[in-house]
Amino acid sequence: MTDPSHAPIPIPERSSSKRAAEESIEILQRQSSQLEGTIRESRKKLKARCSYDAQYWFDRTSIADKLLEKNRLQKMISIQSFERSNTSSKAWHESEEAEAFADTDSALTVDKKLYAAQAKKLQFDVEPVTQGTKRLFMRWFTKSSAGLGATAGKRSTQNQTRFKANLIEASNASHPDPRVEEYWCPILGCFHGKHAMKAAHIVPYSLGQDLMTDIFGAEENEKNELFSAKNGILMHSGAEERFDKGFFVIVPSANDESVEEIKAWHESTAKSYKIRVIDRDAKPMKTFLPSPMQKKLWVDLDGQELQFLSSHRPRARYLYYHYCVTMLRLSYHKNEHEKILRDHLGKKFWGTPGPYLSKSYLLALVQEIGSEDLLDGAENPQEPVEVDFTVLAAANDAVKTSLKNRRGLSSKELEEDDCEDSDDEYFEDEYSNDE
């Protein structure tokens, strides 16, 4: 007789619904894997051609289509995995994961539009493209390590350390007592331990110095504006994370209905800025601030002026660029975008017109976002100009980079081209002497 203590543990039979769900997920995973193989082969053929004519960009458009389909398959896998664990689909649609999939879909759709536009331009444009423009476009689309955007190479620890040190000095951020290792956060208006403080780039490092110069122009006596103190703010790590993800923006603290006040703001050296919370319903904005401000929420910072301890200020045009990136990210959430605009009806987020970016750049953002208020920041508002997609592509790249961080994706999963050194060498040989 079998000892009951050694009897095999009965394995419960899977219900037909659970078995069907697992089989469905397996099918979707196979489809996603097959599609990934197709994408990989298409990329290889693309790089083997070494030709950047109209057909090249039509092929890139086709790859973008496949990437969109892959994202949608992964979205379906995620939903069914939620449901299999007895989590309702409604809960999934309210999750950060759902938001990330939606943002990825929107970002890849923008990529597709940009590729198609370039293909059409090369196919039908009878006027020759200048070598400078050609070089910029090729650098933009072929030298990226994270999707679009000219790669700045591996970030130098030395550069970042120097960047933070320069910010601390320019902002007079050190604690008055040299024995206290704390720095001042202008966002929170108090000192915090040095390990909690971050040197936040406004224009992201991933843009690269070359494209930064093309977009904003070269600043006098600044060879590396990307790591200049004018392109950064020393802030608490919690503030940096929310600023980077676009939960709040930093805008001029001036009455947008007063011409005199706007003029005075532009003429001032030590400009005043305030915080504008973009989405008051975002979960990260409903958490408590770090000590010693634990009785307030992050959302309570809306309208609060930044408190600086020196006359140093970041460049307004860089903060305006961050604002544009945030507006693009917001436009990817159609319902939230409309709700937030309704909540601020009659109010402009930025509120202070000024020459921040070229009108040709801003027109592309207006076409994508649908808000003509962005043109208030045009350098040449009255001049008729052609649409230039460079800033739209740069802003879209910033959104994609933050998406990778949120979803834990590798760079290859959001980029359209896995460029190798051989592509860079081809590019340099082909265009390095063009001016």
How do residues 86-120 score in pLDDT, each as one tens digit?
A: 666 778 887 878 888 888 898 899 888 888 888 88
Q: Does 146 or 393 have the greater pLDDT score?
A: 393
CA 100 – CA 96 distance, rounded (Å): 6
How do residues 131-182 score in pLDDT, each as one tens digit?
A: 444 444 554 454 443 333 334 455 678 888 999 999 999 999 999 999 999 9
* SS3 letters across 265-287: HHHCCCCCEEEEECCCCCHHHHC
Preceding peptide of 381 cis, ω within 30°: no
Position 288 scores a pLDDT of: 92
CA 415 – CA 104 distance, rounded (Å): 11
Tokens 């998406």 belong to 403
Q: Does 35 or 208 have the greater pLDDT score?
A: 35
Would you say 417 and 141 are in contact if contact means Cβ atoms under 8 Å apart? yes
Whether residue 238 is predicted with pLDDT greater than 50 in this model: the reply is: yes
Mean pLDDT score, 125-129? 52
Q: How would you label 224-242 residue by residue, b for 16+ Cβ within 10 Å and e otherwise?
A: ebbbbbbbbbbbbebbbbb
Other C-beta atoms lying within 10 Å of the C-beta of residue 217: 12
Position 406 scores a pLDDT of: 56
CA 114 – CA 297 distance, rounded (Å): 39
The lowest-confidence range among 66-80, 272-286, 316-330, 400-414 is 400-414
* Helical packing angle, 131-142 and 209-216, nearest 10°: 130
Please report, for residues 113, 115, 223, 265, 399, the alpha-carbon distance to residue 110 in angstroms, rounded to integers and kept in the order given.
5, 9, 32, 35, 11
Mean pLDDT score, 400-407? 67
Q: Which pair of tokens denotes residue 263?
A: 């003029």
CA 252 – CA 260 distance, rounded (Å): 14
Whether residue 429 is predicted with pLDDT greater than 60 in this model: the reply is: no
Q: Does 376 or 151 have the greater pLDDT score?
A: 376
Q: Does 432 or 115 have the greater pLDDT score?
A: 115
Whether residue 396 is predicted with pLDDT greater than 80 in this model: the reply is: yes
CA 425 – CA 100 distance, rounded (Å): 35
Position 18 scores a pLDDT of: 67
The pTM for the full model equals 0.76
Please tell me whether residue 72 adopts helix, strand or coil conformation: helix
Maximal CA-CA distance, the chain: 99
Other C-beta atoms lying within 10 Å of the C-beta of residue 346: 4
Position 128 scores a pLDDT of: 47
Position 239 scores a pLDDT of: 95
Strand partners for 199: 234
CA 330 – CA 370 distance, rounded (Å): 11
